[in-house]
Chain A
Amino acid sequence: MPEIVNNMHIVPLDYYIIFCSALFAIGVIGVLVKRNALVIFMSIELMLNSANLLLAAFSAYRNDPAGQIFVFFIMVVAAAEVAVGLALLVMIYRSTHTIDIESLNKLKW
């Protein structure tokens, strides 16, 4: 695998910055637009992934492996968050029979 990758040319780092910012903005728009709690979780995953990719890009371009180690820990936190969050979602659906976040406003002022 390294021999294949070594024969390719370089992409400017700005492209990664623009691409990851666009992915992050799409995730933010998803959190703001959607009412389905499951799709909101997916948008949060999108945001985490864009941050991961940008960390990996900076670490590769600056030759510093700490960024790629950090991506591992973000993956750990994302996996734990999704496990607990989906368990909460199943629990909410079991007691209210909906995952529409507009109907879950009992604690809102």
Chain B
Amino acid sequence: MFSQYLFYFLSILAIYSALMVLISKKPIHSVLYLTLCFFAIAGHYILLNAQFLAVVHIIVYAGAIMVLFLFTVMLLNLNVKNEFQKPRWVKFAAVISGSILLLTLVAIFRTYDMTVIKDPTLTQIGLVKNLGIILFKDYLLPFELSSVLFLAAMVGAVMIGKKDIY
């Protein structure tokens, strides 16, 4: 029972903070609400018995990406409330099409027949030992290729961010 209540609490927290990302006017408030949403998702990972994923999620998202967003807000001086918004009918149409997308996604996923269902609290696949064995045995090539991707992204970000290239 306890995990169900925790699931409801984390889901409501995540959806509330995701909505507040869109509703809040200042970008800095959006960034802080997004951090709250990421922490709620990390709690979901712990509920799914994927502890290593939860820790990596907190380190990567709440640690690195949020700092990147906050530094961009600081560099661009966006904290002044500059009111550029889309017209009302565009917002209305966007909300309606998003709701239709939600309906379609739920309808698609519910027709999918789940044959093998295990209790996630009994599996040990989310622990560091098992994930590490699989990552370095079966998925070694994508792991190394992702390091090349990181190098390319780093070089690209530095080159784009240089001041004297226009």
Which residues of A are at the interface with B, using a C-beta cutoff of 8 A? 1-2, 5-6, 8-11, 13-15, 17-19, 21-30, 32-36, 38-39, 41-43, 45-46, 49, 52-53, 56-57, 59-66, 68-69, 71-73, 75-84, 86-91, 93-95, 99-100, 102
Contact = CB atoms under 8 A, between A and B. Distances in A.
A21 B7 CA distance: 15
Contacts, number: 239
A68 B2 contact: no
A1 B95 CA distance: 40
A87 B149 CA distance: 16
Contact of B48 (A1, A33, A57): A57
A60 to B, nearest CB: 4
B56 A72 contact: yes
Contacts of B57: 52, 75
A71 B21 CA distance: 23
A91 B84 contact: no
Size category of the binding interface on chain B = 35 or more
B114 interface: yes
A14 B65 CA distance: 30
8 contacts: A8-B2, A11-B3, A24-B101, A24-B102, A32-B90, A32-B94, A76-B146, A79-B64
A89 B95 CA distance: 26
B146 A84 contact: no
A43 B27 contact: no
Nearest to A88: B160
B83 to A, nearest CB: 10
A30 B126 contact: no
Contact of A38 (B14, B73, B106): B73
Contacts of B44: 53
Contacts of B46: 1, 5
B157 A83 contact: yes
Contact of B22 (A6, A9, A39): A39
A84 B73 contact: no
A10 B121 contact: yes
B21 A39 contact: yes
Given A11-B47, A17-B110, A65 B134 contact: yes
B125 A68 contact: yes
A28 B98 contact: yes
A8 B15 contact: no
Report the 4 A-B pairs with minimum CB-CB distance, sorted nearest first: A80-B153, A32-B94, A8-B3, A60-B120
Contacts of A6: 121-122
